[in-house]
Amino acid sequence: GQNIDQPTEMTATEGAIVQINCTYQTSGFNGLFWYQQHAGEAPTFLSYNVLDGLEEKGRFSSFLSRSKGYSYLLLKELQMKDSASYLCAVRGARTGGSYIPTFGRGTSLIVHP
């Protein structure tokens, strides 16, 4: 089976740095995704990791350790507009001809002035 764990809610101050953790147990591994979802809107792709290490993209970075089943999303220079839910999703082993990603419940990030 697949299990994705991430904190339910986090708060941070504008201009600060926040790290959102995600741990997973999956049968097989074919990549980990982070999505941002504002209330009432569609998830928007942020990052993709398939190899260990850090992927940096502007203010956002994502880290992966496959041996530990662990990832984090790092947000720097927080802005008010970063208040959103952040979804961790893992694509497990190919089953029945398809790769079905499993999503965590999301971490609701609240950025305050």
- Which C-beta is closer to another protein: that of 33 or that of 72? 33
Q: Is 1 in the site for another protein (CB under 8 A)?
A: no
- Binding another protein by CB under 8 A: which of 14, 15, 95, 112? 95
Task: List C-alpha distances in Å: 81 to 28, 35, 47, 105, 113.
Answer: 35, 15, 18, 20, 11
- Which C-beta is closer to another protein: that of 61 or that of 108? 108
Residues 34-93 interacting with another protein (rule: CB under 8 A) = 35, 41-45, 48, 87, 89
Please report where in the chains the tokens 């999956």 appear, as a residue: 26
Write the DSSP assignment of 39-70 as a string of letters: TTS--EEEEEE-SSEEEEETTEEEEEETTTTE
Q: Is 100 in the site for another protein (CB under 8 A)?
A: yes
Binding residues vs another protein (CB under 8 A):
4, 30, 33, 35, 41-45, 48, 87, 89, 95-106
